[in-house]
Amino acid sequence: MKPAATTPPLAEGVVLSPNGSALAKAFVSARRHLGDMTFAVGGMTGAALRRRARAEVAEVAEWAEWTEWTKNPGPASWIVTGHQAEMIHAGVWFKDAAAAALAEAVGGSALHVVADLDERPGGWLAVASFDADGRLGWTAAPYTDRPGPHCGAHRPPPSAAMFEALADTLAGAAGAGDALGSWLTAAREARPHARTLAEWLTVGRAAIDESVGIRVSNVQLSQLVRRSAWMHFAADLALRFEQMHALHAEVLTAYRAAHGITDRHRPVNDLGDWAGALELPLWVYRKTGRRQAVYARRRRGGVELLTAGGAIGHLDGQAEAAATQLAELASGGTILAPRALTLTLFLRTFVADLFVHGTGGALYDRLGDTLTERWFNWRPPPFVTATATLRLYLERFDVTAADLAAARWNVHHARHNPHLYVPADKLTGPVAAMVQDRAAVLAEIADAPRFSEDRAAAFTRLHKINDRLGQRLPEVEAQTQAALRQIGERLAHNAIADSREAFVALMPTAKLARLVEQARRWAAAIGPRRTKASNHRLTSPRRVSEVFATGVRAGDGRMLLLGLPGSPGPSRAAFAVGKRHGNAVRRNRVRRQCRAAYRQVLDELPDGWDLVIVPRPAKRHSVVDLTRSMTALARRLATKHKAHKHG
């Protein structure tokens, strides 16, 4: 039975940094830095490598408009985040919410890079649940058939039996919210089709995103490291391995000294050496076996790559040839992949317009900023930080550590004074006699000199009397021990209730939606001015009906645009999103996307038009697609109106 409690608060909080004008400045600064990438890397300029990387990312993400970005990768803003392939808590998931909110604000796209090549321990999820006696504890629920260190790209999704066992555990979780339904449906449908554990986990996270109206595209790191842009970047690191090794040590030493860090594993590991070779900030992966450190040394006019198990390949001294040789290694199953610091260096420099870190990544990427600036002689764009705390909807007990200390003292005190813990009317017969004997012995102790034999003998008699009293009054120790145990259990209960590590799918959708709204309010600082958009809104129901009835029409596969000229001042628009788009969450998402697209085309719209924008139902809407449609259809409206007027 679930125990009762006296205080049921549920703490919520977010970290979003920077804020307000500082956020707007960070975004402008990022775009400015990314426009000046003349440094050389992997045989090409940084700007050329960035164009290639973004085209490849868009292709992997299966964005329909990726060919347009290949030709002109500048206008669309990409807000990028990422994490390992695991069952995440709300604080990690909130990076998706922040990235989506920023993308909505600027009419761009949000991208999550799944670090599916990163090794994760365990392969099981800690789920809070009540036992048969009503005590709250953690239950280990495995989600891979091969527990232990693993990377999501090399593990299959769970078997049907394991998934159903996981689903049963989650369904019985204490304080589970309604977001679990979306996750279970998506995860159950995806399990037979997902090629890897990471893909399966990604589908579940995407279902949570969709349930609260945000859209984030996902790509697996294991796909990106097989592409040309990464090969050129990795070739540059390998061919200049001496410089990178020395720079990494110098920057890391200075960072540790500045922050008082003595642990050689923080914030990242030192790069070592082996058999006359220097370690690279990369991992090598094969289809079988775990990741290994990779080393480099000069051989035969080029660079030999090796692990502790021996040589794995040789690179020519020329960057383009080295990139081709890395691609050949990858096709044979030997892949060079980034470590955490190298990954964010690559993504922030060559993929993202703005990168969203959690608090952990933000700490180590201060080191990354210095490393990037020194390596390329180019200042990297700023990043933003986002994390949140959500706790399970569980009641808490009104107990503290001080209560536990008091209960421990009571156990000790009752052991030596058991008669003080029972009513006076029960101190009769032999018990009363022992209490009198005890008082007499205490008087002897008080009168005897300290450290004397008489005092020691009196203490011995006192202990024997206390033992006999305890035997006569066993309920006293039982009661104090029970009170101690109960307080300990309640504190353990509170520790679980206070934990922010619970799986995000166990949270209430309403709580997640509130976090999304907080992220949107924060991200509005980099969007178009709200006053400008509000001045362009059509709010009169009569005028909307008039536009529907007599307006000029133009449509395509994404939307229908209706318009009437004749109103003074700037153009105005209303949005008609019907129930064919789904439930309220989905309708609101489509409405926000239409508004974001509308804000992007305000300057291109002629004055004096009242518009009604009717998006057509679709599996997915993109702000970029809606913006293009809106621009083209507005021109068609004007042309139709002109033809009708002069016809």
Q: Where are the domains of the chain?
A: 124-213, 401-498, 528-646
Helix (H) or strand (E) holding 126: strand 124-130
Contact between 445 and 461 (Cβ < 8 Å): no
SS3 content of the chain, % helix, strand, coil (to 5): 55, 20, 30
**Angle of the 340-350 helix axis to the 46-60 helix axis, nearest 10:** 100
Range list of β-strands (E), 260-382: 273-274, 277-285, 292-299, 302-307, 310-315, 335-338, 354-357
Query: Side-chain half-sphere of 191: how many Cα atoms within 13 Å?
Result: 18
Query: What backbone torsions phi and psi does residue 566 show, to the nearest 5 degrees?
Result: 120, -15
DSSP lists the bridge partners of residue 282 as 338
pTM: 0.76
Helix (H) or strand (E) holding 220: strand 217-220
- 97: alpha, beta or left? (left if phi > 0; alpha if psi -120 to 50): alpha
Structure tokens belonging to residue 495: 């520790």
C-alpha of 80 from chain center: 12
Structure tokens belonging to residue 356: 């969203």
Contact between 157 and 196 (Cβ < 8 Å): yes
Looking at residue 251, what is its pLDDT? 94
* DSSP letter string, 347-397: HHHHT-SEEEE-HHHHHHHHHHHHHHHHHHTSPPPPEEEEEEEE--S--B-
Looking at residue 582, what is its pLDDT? 87
Looking at residue 366, what is its pLDDT? 85
Range list of β-strands (E), 414-571: 552-555, 559-565
Residues in the chain with pLDDT values less than 50: 1-10, 64-75, 529-532
Structure tokens belonging to residue 121: 């321990």
Q: 524-550: b or e for each residue (b if 16 or more CB lie within 10 Å)?
A: bbbbbeeeebeebebeeeebbeebeee
CB neighbours (10 Å) of residue 450? 6
**Angle of the 160-171 helix axis to the 179-190 helix axis, nearest 10:** 180
Strands 383-390 and 354-357: what pairing? parallel
- 289: alpha, beta or left? (left if phi > 0; alpha if psi -120 to 50): left
CA–CA separation, 412 and 406 (whole Å): 10
Residue 67 exposed, middle or buried by CB count within 10 Å (0-12, 13-18, 19+): exposed
The domain 528-646 is classified under which CATH number: 1.10.20.10, 3.50.50.60, 3.10.560.10, 3.30.230.10?
3.30.230.10
Structure tokens belonging to residue 293: 């450190």
89 contacts: CB under 8 Å, gap ≥ 6: 390, 500, 501, 502, 503, 504
Contact between 197 and 82 (Cβ < 8 Å): no
Looking at residue 3, what is its pLDDT? 36
